[in-house]
Structure formats: C-alpha cells, structure tokens
Amino acid sequence: MTRFVLRRTVQALAVLLIVSIVVFALMHVLPGGPARAILGPRATEAAIAAFNQANGFDLPLPEQYLRWLTNALHGDLGFSYKRNEAVASLLRQTVPRTLLLVGLGTLIAVVLAIPIGLIQGVRRNRPVDHVLTTITFTLYSMPAFWLGLLLVDIFAVRLGWLPPEAPSGGPLQMLSNPAGLVLPLLTLSLVTIASFSRYVRASTVEQLEQDYVRTARAKGLETGGVVRHHVLRNALSPVVTLLGLSLPWILGGSLVVEAVFNFPGTGFLFWNAAQGQDYPVMLGVVLVVGIGTVLGSLLADLGYALLDPRVRDQLSTT
C-alpha cells in the first residue's frame, strides 16, 4: 500500500508540474504576451519594453518560468490591475465559497444518486427504471444554465418561495442564510445526480450479474438482502473514482451555477475576468482550479484503493 501511495503521489506531482507549465504557456500565448494583457492594447512599445524589464519578462523563458513558479509557491499569483487587488487575495475570498457550493452540491448529489441508481439497477427495465431513466437522461441532456433559470422561474418568480440570487458574504454568512443557497445547490446537484446515477445503475447491473450474487440467491437470500449485504459495497466503490474523475466537470457546472445565481465564488470571478479580459485573474484561477482537481483525483484514487484491495494490487504492479 505504501508503494502505491508513493507512486500515485509522485505521479500527481508530475501532473502538477505540467499543469504549471500549461498555465505558464497560456500566459505567453496571450496576444503580445503578459505586458500587452496588463497594459492594454493602446500601450506604446516603449512602455511594454519598460514593463517587461521591470517584471523580468525579458529574461529567457526557462528563467521566467522558474521565477513565476517560485512566486506562485510563495502565494504570489500576480496582480489584477483591473480590480486593483492581488490575485491571491481575490482567490482567498472566493475559493471557500466555491468549496461550500461544490462540496455540499456533490454531497447531496451522491446521497441521492446512489439510491436512485440502485433502484434503477435492481428494477432494471421495469416501469420505475424507465421513469427514473427518462428523468435523469433529460436532466443530463439539459444545459445547466437553462435548468437553473427554469428553477428560478418556478420557485422564485412564480411561487416566490425562494430568493433568485445567492447570498453574499463568506461561507459562514452564506450558511446562516440557507434559503438563498437552495436554488444554486439544487441546480448543481440535479445535473450531477443525472450523471452519477447512470454510473451507479450500470455498476449495480454489472454486480447483479456476478456469480456471488447467484450464490447468495441460491443460499435463499432475498433480493433486498443480496443488495444490502453484497452488491452495495461492490457497486459503490467505483463511485469514489467517479468523484475524482468528475471533479473538473463539477467545477465547470459550478461556474455556470455561479453565473446564473450571481454566486460570488471562483467561477463567478473567472467569468467576470473573462468578460473584462483580466488575464492575471484568469491565469491564477486556472492554476488553482487545476491544482485542486489534481489533488482531488489523487485523494479519490487513494480512497478507492483503500476500499478495494484488488485495485491496489493491480495499480502498484503496473
């Protein structure tokens, strides 16, 4: 197990290094490079040259990369001239809120997707399965922003039960105003449930066809017992991997939800930066989101290995 943990961690570090190179490369594909992006399209050549010299952008690329990486490791992710604030400080304000949204949204989605997928798998091709499959398939094929606006239309505009916008303030303040969190969380988790329950269903169907299920049935166990004692654990361990793999996708969904509900998180920050071409902020967000995803999938893989010894052995030999 130690060997597996080590291997997987080294691999994650390598990926992190490449993520940093990708972000650094993005900084240099900007039209006119970082100076043009910060000083704007009307800056003179002389101003750009002065800026490049002052900020070390005239150094050879590898040296620039090392400098940039060192700064990033010390928490210096650049400065947003548009907002007149350090990128790191903007991230410190928004990341906790996004973590709240993504964490709670994913938790709700997992808690609901597991029973839905199990019921679908056990009652495969029965009316219940058809109804649930139709609902999840439609949700899965729906643009997330449209779903969010539909929910706003129903629950905020027509019924007036819930506020149409997310609460402001830090995560704790947000939690003290739970009504405002309901619609953003509902939107994010509905989309996620749609994708997760399909996997749980497939995984359950696969497990139900295994020999051990037939043996358990032959011993006289009823379907309910078989599912509770045998199928559940085996069908659920892939969900842990799925969580890790879906993280980029969930974060993308969170950006859309944040845009729909004016939720002041990292996705919202990124969206505003994209509209105002505030590149230092965009690069900082991409870097942090990339790091978060790599660490998330590392945790998911380690968790999966803990749950399933077969995977552990297989992974440490390949």
Partner 1 sequence: MNTRTRDAGRAFASNRLAVIGLVTLVLIAVFCFIGPLLWRTEQVRTSLGDTFLPPGTGHPLGTDDLGRDVLGRLMLGGQISLIVGISAAVIATTIGALYGSIAGYAGGAVDSVMMRVVDAVISIPTLFLILFMAALVAPTVGALILAVALTSWLVPARLVRGEALTLRNLDFVSMVKVMGGGSTRAVTRHVLPNTVSTLVVNATFQIADAILIIATLSFLGLGPRPPAASWGGVLSNGLQYEYSGYWWLIYPAGIAIIITVVAINLVGDGLRDALSPRSAR
Site for partner 1 contains 255 (CB under 8 A) = yes
Which residues share a beta bridge with 86? 79
Site for partner 1 contains 45 (CB under 8 A) = no
Q: Which is nearer to partner 1, 40 or 178 (CB)?
A: 40
Q: Tell me which stretch binds partner 1 (CB under 8 A): 100-108, 178-186, 217-225, 287-295.
A: 287-295
Q: Tell me which stretch binds partner 1 (CB under 8 A): 81-89, 105-113, 291-299, 301-309.
A: 291-299
Calpha distance 36→108 (Å, rounded): 44
Q: Which is nearer to partner 1, 59 or 277 (CB)?
A: 277
The answer to whether 281 and 90 are in contact (CB under 8 A) is yes
Site for partner 1 contains 155 (CB under 8 A) = no
Site for partner 1 contains 99 (CB under 8 A) = no
The pattern of x and - marking residues 222 through 251 that bind partner 1 according to CB under 8 A reads -------------------------xxx-x
Site for partner 1 contains 138 (CB under 8 A) = yes
Q: Which residues bind partner 1 (CB under 8 A)?
A: 11, 14-16, 18-19, 21-22, 26, 29-31, 137-138, 140-146, 149-150, 153, 157, 201-202, 205-206, 209, 247-249, 251-252, 255-256, 259, 270-271, 273-275, 277, 282, 285-286, 289-290, 293-294, 297
